[in-house]
Copies of this chain bind each other. A is one copy, B any other.
Amino acid sequence: MNAALDRSRFAVVLVRPDSAENIGLAARGMANTGFSDLRLVGLEKLEPPAWRTAIHAEPIIEAARFFPTLDEAVADLNLVLGSTARVRHDFPLVTLDEGLRRIADHPAGARVGLVFGNERTGLTQAELGLTNVRFHIPQAGRQPSYNLGVAVTLTLHALAFRGPASPASRQGFALTHAEQAEAGRRFGEMLDGLGFMHDTNRDFITEKVQDIFFRMTLTAKDRDIILAMFRKALEGPRPARAGTKRRKERT
């Protein structure tokens, strides 16, 4: 047992799960491993079969919270990890162990979300873009992927019983997810103001910017520096005198 781990910092987020049994099985896995904050995206209520599999985990499903979108479900969290079974080209993806190690890079008080997609379709590219870290659970072949409730339990078991004993805190305290999203939006607006976007690339660039911002898992200081730097660049060259001076400094 990892006694140093404050389990109240962690939320399990299930996005559009098809099977109520799987929700119950995930809740049972949370009870097995000592976690309790369950968040459900894209559902309005739980169907009765959830109770059948949530053995000794009824309090968890009864306290589950419902959100229309992933963005809203993780708004208050500092670090969001998304699980995916699909390995895509040119897509930063780490193993479960490495993903959990990344958690230990953050301060002990950071709030962490573990996000799992629909049983058949997984998380969409856009939803993975909302996560700070994308991980996969090692498996023997490409098929089958792990059952949803099993994937949640494997992840929590590794976190609770195999993770680093105490956080290394190599990173500062990250912004909340909502603040990270806002920083990305402001950056996108600046790019747009620069004439960098047009109708044919706006969606693509906006998504890329968001993706990059989440991967950076910004602290407040990081955000302030990045936005200030960029604001300076946006302001363009100073009046001739200052501009000349700057050019000299660069040589």
Chain A residues near B (Cβ < 8 Å) = 1, 7, 25, 28-29, 31-34, 53, 55-57, 137-141, 143-147, 149-150, 153-154, 157, 160-162
C-alpha gap A137/B1 in the complex (Å): 11
Least CB separation from A53: chain B residue: B147
> Could you show 8 A-B contacts with beta carbons less than 8 Å apart?
A28-B150, A29-B150, A32-B140, A33-B140, A138-B157, A140-B160, A147-B149, A147-B153
Residues on the B chain within 8 Å of A141, using CB = 31, 34
C-alpha gap A31/B146 in the complex (Å): 9
User: In the complex, which of the residues A1, A28, A32, A146 has the most CB atoms of chain B within 10 Å of its own CB atom?
Assistant: A32
C-alpha gap A154/B153 in the complex (Å): 8
Residues on the B chain within 8 Å of A144, using CB = 28, 31-32, 55-57
A207 to chain B, nearest CB (A): 31
Residues on the B chain within 8 Å of A146, using CB = 28-29, 32, 153
Given contacts A25-B147, A56-B143, A150-B150, 11 further A-B contacts (CB under 8 A): A28-B144, A31-B141, A32-B150, A34-B140, A55-B147, A57-B144, A146-B153, A147-B153, A149-B150, A153-B154, A154-B157
Residues on the B chain within 8 Å of A145, using CB = 32
C-alpha gap A29/B150 in the complex (Å): 8
C-alpha gap A146/B56 in the complex (Å): 10
A96 to chain B, nearest CB (A): 9
C-alpha gap A25/B162 in the complex (Å): 24
C-alpha gap A75/B223 in the complex (Å): 64
Least CB separation from A56: chain B residue: B144
Residues on the B chain within 8 Å of A147, using CB = 25, 28-29, 53, 55, 149, 153
C-alpha gap A144/B149 in the complex (Å): 15
A29 to chain B, nearest CB (A): 6
10 tightest A-B CB contacts, nearest first: A34-B140, A56-B144, A138-B161, A56-B143, A32-B139, A55-B144, A150-B153, A32-B146, A33-B140, A150-B150
C-alpha gap A138/B137 in the complex (Å): 19
Residues on the B chain within 8 Å of A150, using CB = 25, 28-29, 32, 149-150, 153
